[in-house]
Structure formats: structure tokens, C-alpha cells
Amino acid sequence: GWDIPRLPSQDRSLLVPVCPPRHLCDMGGAKTAYLIAYNAGCMAGWAYALYLALTALADGGALSSTWATMGTAIILSQSAMALEMVHAATGMVRSPVMTTVMQVLSRLQFLVWIPLAPTSASQWGCGMMAISWALVEVPRYAFYLNNLVGPGGQTGTLYPIFWLRYSLFAILYPTGITGEVLTLLACLADPSFASALGGFAPLLIKAMLVLYVPASPFMYMNMVKNRKGAFKKRFAKPPPPPKAPVGAEFPEDSKGGRSTSEAGKKAFAAAIGGSGVGEAEEAAAKCAG
């Protein structure tokens, strides 16, 4: 092999004549390269949006003007997020399709409503929503990227990224959902919104507000469940070492267990093979199989 330094930000399968972590090989090079590029691009887009917002706030900007500052970056990043529905539906990633569709569509709706109700973007709830989204998405895409270029599995993820991925939601989901509801209400209060989409836009938003009642607890508890499972896997105790054999034991079968069946079949096969009958060898082979 070649003595090449470790480069965390690159796909090392391009640099060394051996296969990278097994999960990269199994997925196929083209698909893995695409997912690496997709997650890296989305992470960069959301990080840039967050940078714009935090810089503006640090310079004395108001939360109500946040969308005007980071809105374009959010529109691009959020539009790219629509591909996650395709990834889940085609089996490219192991994500539940319905949950993914709910999450993505609940975000994409704002790319429609806000332009139709311009005043909704200038209230603090919209700013809180946008910043909450960015703070959730940067660690999420970093987590996915780490799994793709790292050794894989829960224990292969850098712990700070792992912790942020499964902990920030506890605060940012409530703040994000609150901001979304306030933005929807602000859309209804915009005079120009009453006639949007032929007058159907207000009805659609009212229907969405009703859906938030069951959907919000579902999405939150789904993340609670995911967090519990992820931490359980990461900190699972190693299996106990196998016990030393005591006395005579039957050999292991093909499934790793021990029983008299495997030994018995071999004994019968040996007896049939030594019987001297013309077709004894064939019969013995069938018995042993």
C-alpha cells in the first residue's frame, strides 16, 4: 500500500489501492459520491444561511429582518432538501418515506406562502423559524456526511456531531414549530393574501394549522425515539465472551449453534457410505447434505 496521510475531508478510496470502509463499497461508488456531494452541499448552504443571520444579529439587526438577510440561501438549501423524498422513496437511504415527506413538505410550503404574503417575512416569528431550521440542519447534514466518509455506524460518528444531531431538536423543534405557526398566522393577516391562489391559499393555511396539532407531537416524539435508540446503540455493552467448553461438546452447526443433528447426520452418512451398496456414496452425500 501507499503511505498517504489521512485526509478526513476526502474520499480516501481515491487515494489508496484498498477499499474504504465496507459500507462505502457496498453502496457503490457512484451513489456514495453523489450522497457525499449532496450532504456536503446542503450542509454548506445551511451553514452559510446561519452565518448570514448570526452576523446580521451581531451587528445589531432585528430578528424580524432575519428572513430578508438569509432568505435566498434558505430557499436554495430548502429546495435541495426536496430530493430527500426521492432518496427515501427509491431506497437510496434508509429513511421512513412518510416521515421524510411530512418533514420536507412542512418546510417547502413556506417557500410558497412567504412570497404571497410579504409582510409575514418581517415579523420575529419568521426569523426564529429560519434560524431554528439552520441550527437543526447543519449538524444533521454533518452527521450524514460523517457516516459516509467515516468508518460508519453510531460509534464511528464524531461524538460532538452525534450529540448535536440527537439533542438540539429538544429546543429547536419547539422554537421552529412556534415560528412556523406564527408565520402562517402572519400570512393570514396579510391583506394581499386573501386572494392568493384564487382565494384558496387562506383555506390551505387554515388546514395546515389544524394538521400541526397532531403532526407536531408526532415529529417531536419520533426524534425522542430516534435519540433513545441511537444512544442505546452507541453505548451498548459489548457481548460477553464465549464460555469455555466443559467436557465434550457437539460441533457447531452452520448457524453457530450446537445440537445432535449435525453429528447424527454425519454418523448416518458414514454408516451408509461403508455399507458396500452400489449407490452408497450418493446416498451418503445426500444424507450429509
Out of 34, 48, 173, 212, pick the active-site residue.
173
Q: Using CA atoms, how far apart are residues 182 and 32, in angstroms rounded to an integer?
A: 39
Q: Respond yes or no: is residue 51 known to be catalytic.
A: no
Beta bridge partners of 267: none
The alpha-helical segments, DSSP class H, found in the chain are 22-27, 29-58, 66-80, 83-89, 97-116, 124-149, 159-165, 169-189, 201-234, 260-273, 280-288
The question of whether 180 is a catalytic residue gets the answer: yes
CB neighbour list of residue 203: distance below 8 Å, 6 or more residues apart:
none
CB 47 within 8 A of CB 137: no
Q: Residue 148 is placed in which grid cell?
A: 459516509
Catalytic residues: 173, 180
